[in-house]
């Protein structure tokens, strides 16, 4: 980047940017977005880029920027949400890796013809279901392996050829399972006609039911094996199974707790904005479903009430799994309220709109 262009960019920021919340974009030579950032004081943040030392990330970004754009937003929360959505949509090269948190992982139920239960380091928009996040990848890997073994699910590579029993009838082939898990009965072997497609999907449904807290079937299977091992005086093996059962139970408890946390993130959140630009965010299960100017008149208040009532009363599947398109936003919102617990005082719970209709006296304020 030439010194002249840097000077022009800096002059533009000095002339137009204000010290208020907002989101900025660094653009490359063809107008492509290289980086998206947010700040509660956009002008100060942008000017800091021009003072960055060689070797700092900020210096590298501004060094490649051919233009800088920004939007002023009413509040820090609005900026946080706008930044998140822009990054998700545009996937700027300087943001993508930076935003991943390598300390967490998810249980991933893949969206494949013959699905698998895996451990994933991050959520992608590939149609899979994600459960978590969890800390401690090793223990989650163990838990996933235990569920896969107990329900005899496949864990082989995505491109392993599958020969379901329904197909076998068609081709009249007989094959051995392609790996040792199938040979020792830890996988029902859909690769070798061990089950029909429907039978395999029924097993996947049982895994999902466990992750959603609807059943503890894998735990019951483990307990039966513990019992058998103890009866056969295989005490070491029984102790090993008991440890596995304990960690599996813990994972399910964590998911239930997460589900309760996500469920509690259902409310209307009023955020005071710059120069009176107050906004109301309707948040259901941790994702922001609507954003409106805070009502100032009775008709506006009624319009908000109608929208909130419709949104919070709508029937939605109660799932502990986070769908890919919402998982990251749920985590973002949860983190915001964890870091700013005082903001919960600005929320009105969803139950205010989903309870029984107010009596005429109550509605009239008596
Ligand atoms: S038995 Fe077949 S389907 Fe099962 S894990 Fe092995 S290769 Fe995959």
* C-alpha to C-alpha distances, 226 to 71, 184, 238, 245, 249, nearest whole angstrom: 61, 19, 5, 9, 15
94-129 per-position pLDDT tens digit: 987 555 567 788 999 999 999 999 999 888 878 888
State residue 318's pLDDT score: 59
Question: Residue 315 corresponds to which tokens in the numbers above?
Answer: 């029937």
CA–CA gap between residue 188 and residue 200 (Å, rounded): 8
CA–centroid distance, residue 318 to ligand 1 (Å): 32
Mutate to test the pocket of ligand 1, among 153, 162, 191, 194 (most ligand atoms within 8 A of CB): 191
Mutate to test the pocket of ligand 1, among 192, 197, 200, 203 (most ligand atoms within 8 A of CB): 192
Minimum CA distance residue for ligand 1 atom 1: 182
What 3-state DSSP class applies to 264? helix
Residues of the chain with CATH 3.40.1440.10: 3-96
State residue 257's pLDDT score: 84
State residue 317's pLDDT score: 64
State residue 360's pLDDT score: 45
State residue 223's pLDDT score: 93
**Is residue 150 within 8 Å of residue 221, measured between CB atoms?**
yes
* Averaged pLDDT in 10-residue chunks for the chain of 366 residues: 85 96 96 96 96 92 95 96 92 75 85 95 83 89 94 95 80 75 93 93 95 90 93 91 92 85 89 94 92 93 92 75 67 90 94 65 41
**Distance in Å from the first CA to the final CA of the chain:** 68
Q: Say what the pTM is.
A: 0.72
21-37 per-position pLDDT tens digit: 999 999 999 999 999 99
CA–centroid distance, residue 180 to ligand 1 (Å): 8
Strands lying side by side in the sheet with 347-349: 287-293, 279-284, 267-271, 347-349
* Strand pairing class (104-109; 129-135): antiparallel
What is the atom index within ligand 1 of the atom nearest the CA of 192? Answer: 2
CA–CA gap between residue 7 and residue 146 (Å, rounded): 60
Those residues whose C-beta lies under 8 Å from the C-beta of residue 230, and which sit 6 or more positions away, are: 238
Residues in the chain: 366
* C-alpha to C-alpha distances, 205 to 155, 176, 208, 303, 319, nearest whole angstrom: 16, 25, 5, 41, 13
CA–centroid distance, residue 115 to ligand 1 (Å): 12
State residue 342's pLDDT score: 95
CA–CA gap between residue 120 and residue 104 (Å, rounded): 9
Minimum CA distance residue for ligand 1 atom 6: 179
250-281 in b/e burial notation, b at 16+ Cβ within 10 A? ebbebbeebbeebeebbbbbbbebeeeebbbb
Minimum CA distance residue for ligand 1 atom 5: 154
CA–centroid distance, residue 29 to ligand 1 (Å): 49
**Residue written as tokens 């440890």?**
243
Ligand 1 binding pocket (C-beta < 6 A) is: 154-156, 160, 177-179, 181-182, 187, 189-191
Q: What is the enclosing helix (H) or strand (E) of 135? A: strand 129-135
Those residues whose C-beta lies under 8 Å from the C-beta of residue 272, and which sit 6 or more positions away, are: 75, 278
**Quick one: residue 323, left, alpha or beta (phi over 0 = left, psi -120 to 50 = alpha)?**
beta
**CATH code of the domain made up of 3-96:** 3.40.1440.10
């Amino acid at each position: 980047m030439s010194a002249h262009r840097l000077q022009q960019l800096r002059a533009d920021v000095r002339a137009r940017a204000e010290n208020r919340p907002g989101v900025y974009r660094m653009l490359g030579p063809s107008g492509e977005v290289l980086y998206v950032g947010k700040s509660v004081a956009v002008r100060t943040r942008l000017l800091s880029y021009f003072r960055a030392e060689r070797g700092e990330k900020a210096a590298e970004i501004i060094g490649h920027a051919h233009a800088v754009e920004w939007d002023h937003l009413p509040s820090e929360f609005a900026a946080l949400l706008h930044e998140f959505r822009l990054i998700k949509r545009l996937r700027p090269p300087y943001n993508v890796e930076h935003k991943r948190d390598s300390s967490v992982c998810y249980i991933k139920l893949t969206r494949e013809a013959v699905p698998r239960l895996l451990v994933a380091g991050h959520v992608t928009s590939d149609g899979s279901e994600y459960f978590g996040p969890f800390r401690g990848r090793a223990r989650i890997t163990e838990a996933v392996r235990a569920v896969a073994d107990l329900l005899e699910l496949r864990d082989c590579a995505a491109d392993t050829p599958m020969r379901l029993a329904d197909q076998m009838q068609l081709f009249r082939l007989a094959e051995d399972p392609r790996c040792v898990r199938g040979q020792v009965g830890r996988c029902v072997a859909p690769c070798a006609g061990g089950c029909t497609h429907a039978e395999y999907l029924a097993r996947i449904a049982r895994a999902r039911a466990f992750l959603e807290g609807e059943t503890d079937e894998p735990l019951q299977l483990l307990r039966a094996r513990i019992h058998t091992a103890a009866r056969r005086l295989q005490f070491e093996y029984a102790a090993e199974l008991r440890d596995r059962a304990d960690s599996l139970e813990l994972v399910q408890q964590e998911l239930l707790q997460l589900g309760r946390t996500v469920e509690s993130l259902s409310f209307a959140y009023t955020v005071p904005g710059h120069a009176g630009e107050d906004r109301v965010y309707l948040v259901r299960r941790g994702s922001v479903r609507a954003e409106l100017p805070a009502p100032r008149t009775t008709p506006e208040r009624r319009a908000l009430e109608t929208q909130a009532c419709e949104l919070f009363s709508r029937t939605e599947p109660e799932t502990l799994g986070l769908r890919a398109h919402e998982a990251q936003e749920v985590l973002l919102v949860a983190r915001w309220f964890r870091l700013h617990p005082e903001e919960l005082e600005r929320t009105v719970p969803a139950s205010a709109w989903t309870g029984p209709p107010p009596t005429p006296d109550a509605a009239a304020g008596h």
